[in-house]
Amino acid sequence: MDLIAIAVIKRAIGLQGHCGVMAYGETLGRLDTPTAVYIGESERRAREITLSHIELRPQGYVVLLDGINDRDAAEAVQGLSLYVDESQLPKLADGEYYHFHLKGMKVISSSTGAEIGTVRDTVNLPSTDALEVVLTNGYEIVIPYNKQAVTKVDKEAKVITVDDSYIEELL
């Protein structure tokens, strides 16, 4: 089973076990409750739990998890992540990708096809999403994930093509 992080528990809210969470993307808000999710400090150490309520408030999402019935229990899970099985994720349109799909992909030059490096991770910057790329020489760069820099993503071949003129500015 492939678990995908969808949120992290930030704080306890009130006395009834409600948890304020920071959601990653839109998946949490699209879940129908009650539903099975997983909670833990990592995907490998996560256990199944029922997500019984989700509410979007002005400060962000508030959730209620079965078995977490008071403030002490909510404080005990602070810092843990919520995960779903990959099969629970909403289907994407053609040309759309989840960030975890991009990790580990080879990055190549648009003009020569030469390998530039490998995507180590994806990051959400205030202005855009970006790819952390480990270059073939061991250095790291951050490439904005936009149409100017990333010209093609081949999910089956696990290759991302990047515009050379844009990358030369970063090297």
- pTM comes to 0.70
Same fold, 3-88 and 99-170: no
Topology (CATH) of 99-170: SH3 type barrels. (2.30.30)
Q: Where are the domains of the chain?
A: 3-88, 99-170
The letter for the amino acid at 89 is L
Q: How far apart are CA 157 and CA 121, in angstroms?
A: 18
DSSP symbol at 80? P
Pick among 3.30.230.10, 1.10.10.10, 3.40.50.2300, 2.40.30.60: CATH of 3-88: 2.40.30.60
pLDDT mean for each 10 residues of the chain (171 residues): 90 96 88 94 94 93 97 97 89 80 93 93 83 93 90 93 78 61
Burial group, residue 160, by CB count within 10 angstroms (0-12, 13-18, 19+): buried
